[in-house]
Amino acid sequence: MEKIIVAGAGLVGSLQALLLAKKGHKVDVYERRSDIRSNEFVGGRSINLALSTRGWKALEIAGIADEIRDISIPMYGRKIHAVNGDISFQSYGKDEEAIYSVSRGELNRQLLLKAASYPNVGFYFDERCVDVDINTNEAAFQNSITGEVSIVKAKQIYATDGAFSAVRGRLQRLDRFDFSQTYMTHGYKELIIPANADGTHKIDKNALHIWPRGQFMLIALANLDGSFTVTLFFPFEGPTSFESLNTNDKIRDFFKETFPDALPLMPTLIEDYHENPTSSLCIIRCNPWNYQDKILLMGDAAHAIVPFYGQGMNAGFEDCSEWWRLVEEYGQDWSTVFAEFTRIRKPNGDAIADLALKNYIEMRDLVGDEKFLLRKKIEKRIYEKHPHKWVPLYSMVTFSHTPYADALVIGKKQEAIMDRVMELENIAQIWDSEEVEQQIIAQL
């Protein structure tokens, strides 16, 4: 049997390897890093992400959803921390709808372990893809310990080697291959709220905590060990920026003034601030996502987006479930499967990139704004009364399988309707009236 290569065993690569194995293919997975299967906490720190409906679907197909559910914490809404100490709660969806906080390292480890339980999967760690010959479909891997380069021939190469994909780097040299890369002016730094002495959480673990402050924000997601991973999204340069917070006093004073209720929860703030890197955020778009029936770009290798909709990994997992659906439909007709993958997934990748960027403004700026909260209240009411006519954009993106591109279009229509509704006189008083409801419904 001709083998298939998966280049990059991160979240998407390890899931894709699992799906390929389930379909009976002989798969060899090459990963630049060392084997994380024996490490309990990858890198010593627990970094988490939000898993939602699209991601769960792919995990269900792979047969690993139950194991991941066991290591996930549901978050039913946002807890907004105002500067004056007020805390308000906004639910994300209906009833039990939640997004799930899960450790990136543990999720990756479980996916690798599950993939390794198939006899038709082989793993090669410390092997960095350095080149691909697109004519022969041979990939070159360099071992980071010995320096040795091996050449491996494959029927197909799945490029899941992340935002700075080496495989995509080779495709970028092809005629008519589109590529763009845009860095944000904001970066991020991960900090920590440790657990209480008895291992319990210091704040509500079942919510995503946000400290929105206009041009920047702090967020916190719970970990199973009682701690929270806190992320500061912040400008690199400017009067209030990573560059300007250059002494311990300035860091402490800034947190005291800006995040007064978070500071006492963060006893190691100063050490963490210095020790943890300041990382950049980048949006990457490219086209096409396939090269003939030989190479397929998936996950961040195809579409790196900003993290503000909590959808990067979910979109990558949806790549996997959509690949599965196409294989179910077209079988071994790989030319069709790969071409259809680009045709269907590329507009959705572009749409979630746009949505994620827009959500940054919502998260850092609007979630504490009265008018915005009223809008959300009106939308929620319409959704509850007319669930088949109006599904809020956040719910479409997070709790449905509506293609991202469709969600973007519907969301724009909804926004225009809500802009008009918010212009109504006395909207704050009549927001839950029959009149407002009918106006909205009439415009749909």
Ligand X SMILES: Cc1cc2nc3c(=O)[nH]c(=O)nc-3n(C[C@H](O)[C@H](O)[C@H](O)COP(=O)(O)OP(=O)(O)OC[C@H]3O[C@@H](n4cnc5c(N)ncnc54)[C@H](O)[C@@H]3O)c2cc1C
Nearer to ligand X, 208 or 378 (CB): 208
Nearer to ligand X, 165 or 414 (CB): 165
Nearer to ligand X, 97 or 333 (CB): 97
Under 8 Å between Cβ of 216 and 224 = no
Sorted by sequence, the CB contacts under 8 Å of residue 201 that are 6+ apart come out as 195, 222, 226, 227, 228
Nearer to ligand X, 313 or 408 (CB): 313
For ligand X, the nearest residue by Cβ is: 10
Question: What's the closest the beta carbon of residue 204 comes to ligand X, in angstroms?
Answer: 18
Pairing of strands 26-30, 121-124: parallel
What distance in Å separates the CA atoms of residue 333 and residue 223, rounded to the nearest whole number?
A: 43
Question: What's the closest the beta carbon of residue 11 comes to ligand X, in angstroms?
Answer: 4
Nearer to ligand X, 30 or 338 (CB): 30
Nearer to ligand X, 140 or 344 (CB): 140
Question: What's the closest the beta carbon of residue 196 comes to ligand X, in angstroms?
Answer: 24
Other Cβ atoms closer than 10 A to 68 = 21
Question: What's the closest the beta carbon of residue 222 comes to ligand X, in angstroms?
Answer: 13
Question: What's the closest the beta carbon of residue 394 comes to ligand X, in angstroms?
Answer: 14
Question: What's the closest the beta carbon of residue 17 comes to ligand X, in angstroms?
Answer: 11
Under 8 Å between Cβ of 260 and 85 = yes
Nearer to ligand X, 11 or 18 (CB): 11
Question: Measured over all CA atoms, what is the biggest interatomic distance in the chain, rounded to whole angstroms?
Answer: 73
DSSP string, 12-25: HHHHHHHHHHHTT-
Question: What's the closest the beta carbon of residue 185 comes to ligand X, in angstroms?
Answer: 16
- End-to-end C-alpha distance for the chain, whole angstroms: 54
What distance in Å separates the CA atoms of residue 30 and residue 151, rounded to the nearest whole number?
A: 12
Question: What's the closest the beta carbon of residue 32 comes to ligand X, in angstroms?
Answer: 4
Question: What's the closest the beta carbon of residue 132 comes to ligand X, in angstroms?
Answer: 10
- Chain residues in the site for ligand X (CB under 6 A): 7-13, 30-33, 49-50, 128-129, 160-162, 166, 188, 231, 299-301, 307, 310-314, 316
Nearer to ligand X, 162 or 212 (CB): 162
Question: What's the closest the beta carbon of residue 7 comes to ligand X, in angstroms?
Answer: 5
Under 8 Å between Cβ of 17 and 161 = no
209: left (phi over 0), alpha (psi -120 to 50) or beta: beta
Nearer to ligand X, 46 or 160 (CB): 160
Nearer to ligand X, 33 or 381 (CB): 33
Question: What's the closest the beta carbon of residue 210 comes to ligand X, in angstroms?
Answer: 13
Nearer to ligand X, 80 or 298 (CB): 298
Burial 149-163 (b: 16+ CB within 10 A, else e): eeebebebbbbbbbb
Helix 404-422 to helix 370-385 angle, to the nearest 10 degrees? 110
Q: Give the DSSP H/E element, type plus range, for residue 81.
A: strand 77-81
DSSP E strand boundaries for 206-340 = 208-212, 217-222, 228-235, 278-287, 290-291, 295-297, 303-304
What distance in Å separates the CA atoms of residue 109 and residue 11, rounded to the nearest whole number?
A: 9
Q: Give the DSSP H/E element, type plus range, for residue 181.
A: strand 178-193
Helices (H) and strands (E) in the chain — how many of each?
14, 20
What distance in Å separates the CA atoms of residue 161 and residue 173, rounded to the nearest whole number?
A: 17
